[in-house]
Chain A
Amino acid sequence: MATEAPELTVNVEKPGAWARRLTITVPADRIAREKKDAVQRLSKRVKLPGFRQGHVPSAVMERKFGPAIEQEAVEKVINDAYREALESEGLQPISQASVENVNYEPGSDLKFDVELEVRPEIELERIGGFTVLREQSPVADQQVDEVLQRLRDENAAWRTKEDSTPVAGDMATVEITPLDDATEAEPSKPRRYEIVIGEGQALQAVEDAIITLKMGESAEFEVDLPENPEEPAGPTKPHRMHINVVELKTPEYAPLDDEFAKSLGDFDSLAVLRERIAEDLGRETEKEAERGVRMQIVQQIIDANPFEVPQSMVRGYLDQMMPTREGADPAKLEELRMQMWPMAETALKRSMVVDRIAEMEALRPTAAEMDARIDDMAERMGRPRGEVIAQLRKAGRLVELEQEITEEKVFDYLKSLSDIQ
């Protein structure tokens, strides 16, 4: 229907860099036709005494529902005309358009203005010839040692400690009974906690009290606790409480030897375990280095081709990142948004640069490339290809995958244009 519609007249003004004001004129006969369509649509549904459903003459319909029909027709014409105008002018709006100055007299042309913001067309004149530093430090023995120590911590055996008070690293099971509001008739109930001493799991004042007791001992304490739990350093108030140390355990670390390595899984010796840890750490630092390189390249491109991001785009991005939750304090939310603003701006610039380069150099993934990646995934997961595709589609991750491949191709291309040291 749109193809046979009489031509619209569209006039585009640029009040700002991204702002566009469209003045659209729709010929009267198109509105008349739309009105006729609206009458027909409505007459099929409407029930009037004296008429069978769907047989109400249009003259009666217009008499009875004239203003509503006209409004419906004009609204539809405005919507259609706006969409057609965007298409014919090749505009990509990034904000909700606002329709203004609707000027319509029955029987005459419809004229209205639309104000919107469009996605900026960025011009990237220089995208290569940069010097980028790849910061990748080799994996140090100390890092491997740290991971090993963490593994020992996680796999420590806990031995009961009966004869001495707890020290840092010990785990105490305690029952704490607040005594402030307790009466003889209604004693407070004890609450049980498991606390590793020295890890900041309990308030310092409580921990100080616990370390004076051995396993099985109990005592009453007067402990200064902060008045406001969210401000541990704020003013304090004394509270009376009864602390009972039910159980005390101390960690027993396995010796760092081949046996320990074997107990963790498929490792023949400690040397093999160290090697595997070093490999994993190496992969991680490599990823980190790659991220750094990509960030530097994008930053240099942005510096060499400065451009601005429309505020409405940043706002839209933030809206997506942090949807308004009910009951949230609007002032705090606004403050948080302001804090995140520069980050959002950078993220948008980055994605605009990547998109633009993908477009300029035709680097979007081909169907074959997508297929190859999906085959890869299917093989890794050991599942049929069809199932993997269905799952990706269901989770809406096909677009993400496409974006991922595009980024890889864009950055491979960009790296080939710059000097990576």
Chain B
Amino acid sequence: MRDVREVIIRPVVTEASAMLQEERQTYTFIVAKDSNKIEIRHAVQELFGVTVAGVRTANYPGKVRRVGRSTGRKSGYKKALVKLVEGDSIDVYEGV
């Protein structure tokens, strides 16, 4: 199994993620594109010492960008919404 730091790339710190944290105990991360929910669950549990109740993921393909005649594509990313069990929490702002 690969290193947990390769699975979890960074937390997402935005207004929406802050609201999810507060209201649903759900933390948002950008994760490796080829990771799966099981890997993400283990990685979060190992990295932050918490118990994960559920993982949902979403793939965001990169957007097409044009520069003059040539077209290109921004790199996409995979986002994971990780719900923790009642009472657990993560300090995602560390190092923000």
Residues from chain A with Cβ under 8 Å of B96 in the complex: 60, 63-64
Q: For chain B, residues 50 to 96, give those with C-beta under 8 angstroms from any C-beta of chain A.
A: 93-94, 96
State the Cβ distance, A63 to closest chain B Cβ, in Å.
Answer: 4
Q: Which of A50, A59, A63, A64 contacts B14 (CB 8 A)?
A: A50
Q: Which of A51, A52, A55, A63 contacts B93 (CB 8 A)?
A: A63
Residues from chain A with Cβ under 8 Å of B13 in the complex: 50, 60
Q: Does B15 contact A (CB under 8 A)?
A: yes
Residues from chain B with Cβ under 8 Å of A316 in the complex: none
Alpha-carbon distance between A60 and B17 when the two chains are bound, in angstroms: 12
Contact assessment for A50 and B93 in the assembled complex, using a CB-CB cutoff below 8 Å:
no
Interface size class of B (residues with CB under 8 A): 10 to 19
Residues from chain A with Cβ under 8 Å of B22 in the complex: 57
From B19, which residue of chain A is reached at the shortest CB distance?
Answer: A57
The proximity string for A residues 151-185 relative to B, scoring 1 for CB distances below 8 Å and 0 otherwise, is: 00000000000000000000000000000000000
The proximity string for B residues 25-46 relative to A, scoring 1 for CB distances below 8 Å and 0 otherwise, is: 0000000000000000000000
Residues from chain B with Cβ under 8 Å of A51 in the complex: 14-15, 18
Residues from chain B with Cβ under 8 Å of A63 in the complex: 93-94, 96
Contact assessment for A59 and B93 in the assembled complex, using a CB-CB cutoff below 8 Å:
yes
From B93, which residue of chain A is reached at the shortest CB distance?
Answer: A63
Residues from chain B with Cβ under 8 Å of A59 in the complex: 18, 93
Interface size on A, residues (CB 8 A): 10
Residues from chain A with Cβ under 8 Å of B14 in the complex: 50-51
State the Cβ distance, B12 to closest chain A Cβ, in Å.
Answer: 8
Alpha-carbon distance between A273 and B80 when the two chains are bound, in angstroms: 107
Residues from chain B with Cβ under 8 Å of A60 in the complex: 13, 18, 93, 96
Alpha-carbon distance between A56 and B16 when the two chains are bound, in angstroms: 11
Alpha-carbon distance between A55 and B93 when the two chains are bound, in angstroms: 16
From A64, which residue of chain B is reached at the shortest CB distance?
Answer: B96
Residues from chain A with Cβ under 8 Å of B18 in the complex: 51, 57, 59-60
Alpha-carbon distance between A59 and B91 when the two chains are bound, in angstroms: 10
Alpha-carbon distance between A57 and B94 when the two chains are bound, in angstroms: 15
Residues from chain B with Cβ under 8 Å of A50 in the complex: 12-15, 17
From A61, which residue of chain B is reached at the shortest CB distance?
Answer: B93
From B91, which residue of chain A is reached at the shortest CB distance?
Answer: A63
Alpha-carbon distance between A56 and B17 when the two chains are bound, in angstroms: 11
Residues from chain B with Cβ under 8 Å of A52 in the complex: 15
State the Cβ distance, A153 to closest chain B Cβ, in Å.
Answer: 87
Alpha-carbon distance between A56 and B14 when the two chains are bound, in angstroms: 9
Alpha-carbon distance between A55 and B18 when the two chains are bound, in angstroms: 10
Alpha-carbon distance between A50 and B14 when the two chains are bound, in angstroms: 4
Residues from chain A with Cβ under 8 Å of B17 in the complex: 50
From B94, which residue of chain A is reached at the shortest CB distance?
Answer: A63
Alpha-carbon distance between A59 and B15 when the two chains are bound, in angstroms: 12
State the Cβ distance, B24 to closest chain A Cβ, in Å.
Answer: 15
Alpha-carbon distance between A56 and B15 when the two chains are bound, in angstroms: 7
Alpha-carbon distance between A60 and B94 when the two chains are bound, in angstroms: 10
Residues from chain B with Cβ under 8 Å of A57 in the complex: 15, 18, 22
From B15, which residue of chain A is reached at the shortest CB distance?
Answer: A51
Q: For chain A, residues 275 to 331, give those with C-beta under 8 angstroms from any C-beta of chain B.
A: none
State the Cβ distance, B49 to closest chain A Cβ, in Å.
Answer: 19
From A62, which residue of chain B is reached at the shortest CB distance?
Answer: B93
Residues from chain B with Cβ under 8 Å of A56 in the complex: 15
From A59, which residue of chain B is reached at the shortest CB distance?
Answer: B93
State the Cβ distance, A53 to closest chain B Cβ, in Å.
Answer: 11
What are 25 A-B residue pairs whose CB atoms fall within 8 Å in the complex? A50-B12, A50-B13, A50-B14, A50-B15, A50-B17, A51-B14, A51-B15, A51-B18, A52-B15, A55-B15, A56-B15, A57-B15, A57-B18, A57-B22, A59-B18, A59-B93, A60-B13, A60-B18, A60-B93, A60-B96, A63-B93, A63-B94, A63-B96, A64-B93, A64-B96
Give the top 9 A-B pairs by smallest Cβ distance, nearest first: A50-B14, A63-B93, A51-B15, A57-B18, A55-B15, A50-B13, A63-B96, A60-B93, A64-B96
Excluding A50-B12, A59-B18, A60-B18, 4 further A-B contacts by CB distance (< 8 Å) are: A50-B15, A51-B14, A57-B18, A60-B13
User: Which residues of B pack against A, CB within 8 Å?
Assistant: 12-15, 17-18, 22, 93-94, 96
